[in-house]
Amino acid sequence: MLSRNRWLSALLLSFVAVLLVVGCGGGDDEGEDGGGGEAAADQTLKWGLGAEYVLDPGLATDTTSAKLVLNIFDPLVKLDDELNAVPSMADSWDVNGKKVVYHLKTGAKWSNGDPVTAKDYEYAWKRALSPELASDYSYQLYGIQGGVEYNECEKNCAALRDKVAVKATDDKTLEVTLTSTQPWFIQQSAHSVFLPVPQKAVEQFGERWTRPENIVTNGPFKVEAAQPSASITLVKDANWRDAANVKLERVEGRIIVDGTTAVQSFEAGEVDVLDEQLPAAETPRLKETPEYELYPGLGTTYYGFNVKENITDVNQRRAMSLAVDRQSIIDNITQANEKPADAFTPDGMPGREDVVAESSPWTPAAGDVEQAKEYMAKAKNAKKKITIYTNEGAPNKEVAEALQSMWKQIGIDSSIKILEWQQFLEFLGPPPPKAVDIYRLGWVGDFVDDINFLELWTCDSGNNNTGYCDKEYDALVAKAKQTPDNAERYSIYKELEEKLTGQEGALPFIPLWYITYPNLERESVKDTFKINLLDQVDLTQVEIKG
């Protein structure tokens, strides 16, 4: 009896012990810091990536993939901190009206030893336009003559392919003819879809050419190993044309989708930098740590009105915009130090100081309830019972609730409907459904010209879910596209912005804030690891400090 009891006790005790070990861990104090003082002999960057990646530049669509492909393939041009185009594989370029000529560096090699030539770029651009590849980003190349026609072709595609006006006239010259003068084209060609791809490998391995055993690259880093959905290891390509100036030897990327886990992994010293996947709830605490870094992004979050059918009176729209205390939403809900929006064109956009010379009168950062009430009183046929549509996801519901209470102060009763992301996008139109009075969305630029933002509000835009349609506005957009001179074009953008958010503007939406990218970065890399406005990272600049 005694022995059985002892046996049972032992079992129970060992079980409790397991639970205790698991549950209590250690009571160590925080504060040991992995990074910092040690030697930087080991130039390995451990990077916690926020999403699955695709390594085919023609198929990469998300920002994590873009961050990787831009470092394993060599773009013709890169963007500097002010988003100006600077030489990369192209030494220089000439722009003459619709004609653009890139002059490539010589001597560069693919990771298999083949020379990199202008043909590789021609092949990649035509491939991205091909209907068979069905690239999501093919529209980025629509500015090239014959691009749309080839992308839309159903028959005679080979002939249309030959008509696409991008041609390698020799190994180091790439000639492009555009459909119109596009002053932004050079900067646009820094986008990942303009990266070259290795024709031989693509043709040999088909869709499997990006496997680590097949992939051929020509960027500063090459792929050593890759486990789908789990990790990727890049190593410096010693034969890259400018390898002498690349400090980093190795990048160990590990996919950590969950924000909380990512932060814990960072705090446990397993990764040196994250990929912006910080959970909003943790931001107030993380903000106080020296590893917190905040980057501005080229994007605007807004609430769009259904101007056609429901919120038809501009005075009601003005009132609703005036009633919003943006600063309070940023301080208390989103908490990532976003900048309150005072126009649609975001901060950081080239020429913004000309385009938004004055802030919109309808967007005071802290709101103006008294003025809002005055405008509400002026509104004829004001709709006082409205439905707010937003999608699932961290701060969206809370923001909608804050707006609900702000609009209550001016006599508007609102109810909130939350939809799943894909359903939400389908539901919004365009044209906007009658049920929607106001909806949340955001716009993030994918190349650096304001046309990328302002074009959104043309009558036929697939992204204009408000029903706002002004032929004059459309004519100005068309005119801007034909205006290569920056100053002249910016003055057109100014007119466009005024039509939207200016004193007499139609205000089809309420600009809320300009987005930011908060991140965690170990102090040893913080000075050199930078995320630019387009959410790109240039790993050639990164150096792990001792």
| Helix or strand holding residue 103 (H, E) | strand 99-104
Q: Which stretch binds other proteins (CB under 8 A): 80-88, 455-463, 509-517, 525-533?
A: 455-463
Q: 336: helix, coil or strand?
A: coil
CA pseudo-torsion sign 149, 151, 157, 158:
positive
- Stretch 477-496 residues interacting with other proteins (CB under 8 A): none
Cβ 492 to other proteins, closest distance in Å?
Answer: 23
3-state secondary structure of 315: helix
Nearer to other proteins, 174 or 441 (CB): 441
Among 2, 27, 31, 96, binds other proteins (CB under 8 A): 27
> Closest CB to other proteins among 107 and 206?
206
Using CB under 8 A as the binding rule, whether residue 405 contacts other proteins is answered as no
Please report whether residue 23 would count as binding other proteins according to CB under 8 A: yes
Total number of residues that touch other proteins (CB under 8 A): 66
Residues 107-146 contacting other proteins, CB under 8 A? 131-132, 134-136, 138-139
Of residues 414 through 443, those in contact with other proteins by CB under 8 A are: 420-423, 425-427, 441-443
Asked whether position 43 contacts other proteins by CB under 8 A, the answer is no
- The helix or strand, by DSSP H or E, that contains position 70, with its residue range, turns out to be helix 63-72
Q: What distance in Å separates the CA atoms of residue 441 and residue 302, rounded to the nearest whole number? A: 6
The CA distance from 112 to 109, in Å, is 8
**Spatial distance between the Cα atoms of 71 and 248, rounded to a whole number of angstroms:** 12
- Ranges of beta strands (E only) in 374-461 are 385-391, 413-419, 438-444
Q: Are residues 129 and 150 in contact, defined by beta-carbon separation less than 8 angstroms?
A: yes
Cα–Cα distance between 370 and 383 in angstroms, integer? 19
**CA 476 to CA 496: how far, in whole Å?**
7
- Taking the C-alpha atoms of residue 5 and residue 119, their distance in angstroms, rounded to an integer, is 81
Candidates 26-34, 242-250, 382-390, 534-542: pick the segment binding other proteins (CB under 8 A).
26-34
210: contact with other proteins by CB under 8 A:
yes
What character string, x for contact with other proteins (CB under 8 A) and - otherwise, covers 165-184?
--------------------
H helix runs in 227-368, sequence order: 259-267, 283-286, 314-322, 326-329, 352-355
Q: Indicate which single residue of 229, 288, 381, 504 sits in contact with other proteins (rule: CB under 8 A).
A: 229
Q: 30 vs 288, which CB is nearer to other proteins?
A: 30
Nearer to other proteins, 346 or 364 (CB): 346
The residue to which tokens 């034909």 are assigned: 482
Least distance from other proteins to the Cβ atom of residue 40, Å? 24
In whole angstroms, the minimum distance from the beta carbon of 246 to other proteins comes to 26
**CA 59 to chain CA mean position, Å:** 16
Name the nearest CA neighbour of 323 among 512, 184, 151.
512
331 binds other proteins (CB under 8 A): no
Q: Is 460 in the site for other proteins (CB under 8 A)?
A: no
Residue selected from 255, 382, 492, 506 as contacting other proteins according to rule CB under 8 A: 255
- Using the rule CB under 8 A, give the single segment among 48-56, 286-294, 307-315, 344-352 that binds other proteins: 48-56
Position 3 contacts other proteins (CB under 8 A): no
Closest distance to other proteins from the beta carbon of 426 (Å): 4
Q: Which is nearer to other proteins, 203 or 207 (CB)?
A: 207
Smaller CB separation from other proteins, 205 or 315: 205
Q: Which is nearer to other proteins, 18 or 238 (CB)?
A: 18
Per-residue burial over 285-320, b if 16 or more Cβ lie within 10 Å, else e, is ebeeeebbbeebbbbbbbbbbbbbebbbbbbbbbbb
Closest CA to 40 of 542, 540, 524, 527: 524
CA 6/CA 53 separation, integer angstroms: 55
Burial class of residue 520 (count of CB atoms within 10 Å of its CB; 0-12, 13-18, 19+): buried
The interface region with other proteins, picked from 38-46, 227-235, 305-313, 497-505 by CB under 8 A, is 227-235
**Shortest Cβ distance from residue 14 to other proteins (Å)?**
10
If one counts every other C-beta atom within 10 angstroms of the C-beta of residue 169, the result is 11
SS3 at position 226: strand
Task: Determine the interface stretch with other proteins among 55-63, 84-92, 312-320, 511-519 (rule: CB under 8 A).
Answer: 55-63
**Nearest residue (CB) to other proteins, 301 versus 540:** 301
Nearer to other proteins (CB atom), residue 88 or residue 210: 210
Please state the closest distance from residue 13 (CB atom) to other proteins, in A: 10
- Cα separation, 348 vs 82, whole angstroms: 8
Q: What is the DSSP string of 84-99?
A: -EEESSEEEEEEETTE
| Comparison of 61 and 482: residue with beta carbon closer to other proteins | 61
Residues that bind other proteins (CB under 8 A): 8, 11-12, 15-16, 19, 21-28, 52, 54-56, 59, 61-62, 131-132, 134-136, 138-139, 148, 151-152, 207-208, 210, 227-231, 254-258, 260-261, 264-265, 267-268, 270, 420-423, 425-427, 441-444, 446, 461-463
